[in-house]
Amino acid sequence: MVGFNDAPLIQKLAVPAVCLLISFLGYVSQLVFQYSALEPGPPSQTEAVVFNSLLLLLWYAYYKAVTVDPGQYAFSEKVMEAEGRWCNKCTAPKPLRAHHCKLCKRCVPRMDHHCPWTGNCVSMTTFPHFLRFLVYTNMSLWMLGHLLWQRFYAIWQARHLPAYLGPSVPALVSLAMLSIICFFTTSALGIILVTTVRSWVLNRTMIEGWELERHEAIADRPSKDWWEMTGPDGKPISFERVEFPYDVGFFTNMSQAMGTSNPFLWFYPFSGNPSISKTGKGSGWTWEENGFNRTEGMWPPPDPDKIRRAGRDWPAAGRNLDAELRELDLSPEEAKMAFKRRQEQDVKRRRMLMAELEEQDDFGENSDYEEDPSVDKGWSNTDGDRLGDFGVDEDAYDVVDADESDDNVPLGELLRRRNVVATDRQE
């Protein structure tokens, strides 16, 4: 399924196609059972009630999975601190476990992935409905498989009778088509159900599973000489193995994902879903940790490859934000001088970049150099998935540590903060 999100045709036709598939397997099958000469005849009243009840639950859960808002953060007007990560697309801080979805155009709380078949993100608010949809769908398919098996078994028992005493050719063709489609649909949705339940039990989204596998691949490299690094701003950055912190226990994980600690409501079709706190704290903003790491707030771990490339590509790329703010108050002549200084710095940067490109040419196609497969540009997990396949817009944010300067925060945001501080002091 990954990669389908980027296809415009899939985005438009996925939901209608799912509705068509449900209608075909759910209702065309009943017409075939009712009006064909297939033994043992039409389903019993109990079988019909159970099957159609599961279909109603399926439809409702799918409707909720498609229509429930995946969640959005509402920040107060005065955003003075950019702790954690900063989203360049939303121009706002990005809370823990949130990711910017390139299709929903926002930072989604506890984003699991963007599902092409629901046209919606599987997130903190939609996960309960998505899980119920998978459960009801698989139960409906199992029931349909049972009904199909009854008719195949009857045909097998009558295999020695003359052909004209058996079912008609159209009935056999319809039975074969239903069986083939039911088999492949059950296999695909069974796999999705297993992976979704696994993420539910471990309190780990698909994206976080990708990040964890990526982190372990980096930590298991033979060479550890890059564990002590220097960031683009010249400050030292230490890399260490980090345990996934949000697995806080079997029952707590499931209660947190379903929005209630009452197990009887987890699969109740009309149950609600978790909601995001509007105060900037609590549900959707902060997450309980298991305490296995040295301190809280260590997830997601830093990516040494990105840090190393950032420092190598632009050795002089560290922004002097204080100087940028001061230049706004310069006189015309002073502004011209500052502009000339920036031109001279640009020339130096070009020379450094050309030297870097020449150095990279030494490792071209004709050399023995092999690119590290764990480098983010081409790295994929064991399933061949990249982070962008889950709908994440990786270019939307940068890491901003709480104890470091706001190098990645836009200048306009810094200006607004300065004006807010000035206003507060006047008051």
pLDDT in tens, the chain (427 residues): 445 566 676 778 899 999 999 999 999 999 999 888 788 888 999 999 999 999 999 999 999 999 999 998 887 665 545 556 788 888 888 888 999 998 888 999 999 999 999 999 999 999 999 999 999 999 999 999 999 999 999 888 877 777 667 778 888 899 999 999 999 999 999 999 999 999 999 999 999 998 898 888 888 877 655 556 666 556 666 778 889 999 999 999 999 999 999 999 999 999 989 999 887 788 888 899 998 988 888 888 877 767 666 555 444 445 565 666 666 666 777 777 877 887 787 777 677 666 555 544 443 433 333 334 434 445 677 767 777 777 777 666 554 443 444 445 555 666 666 666 566 656 5
Which residues are CB-contacts of 404 (< 8 A; sequence separation ≥ 6)? 233, 235
What pLDDT score does 319 carry? Answer: 54
Q: Are 262 and 254 in contact (CB under 8 A)?
A: no
Residue 265 zone, left/alpha/beta (φ > 0; ψ -120 to 50; rest): alpha
Per residue in 249-273, pLDDT (tens digit) is 999 999 999 999 999 999 999 998 9
Start-to-end CA distance of the chain, whole Å, equals 56
Whether the bond between 315 and the residue before it is cis, its omega within 30 degrees of 0, is no
Q: What are the φ and ψ backbone dihedral angles of 47, each rounded to 5 degrees?
A: -65, -40
Which residues are CB-contacts of 348 (< 8 A; sequence separation ≥ 6)? 316
User: Is 121 part of the annotated catalytic residue set?
Assistant: no
The answer to pTM > 0.85 is no
**The residue count for the chain:** 427
Per residue in 45-68, pLDDT (tens digit) is 999 999 999 999 999 999 999 999
Give me the catalytic one of 90, 101, 104, 115.
Answer: 115
Whether the bond between 40 and the residue before it is cis, its omega within 30 degrees of 0, is yes
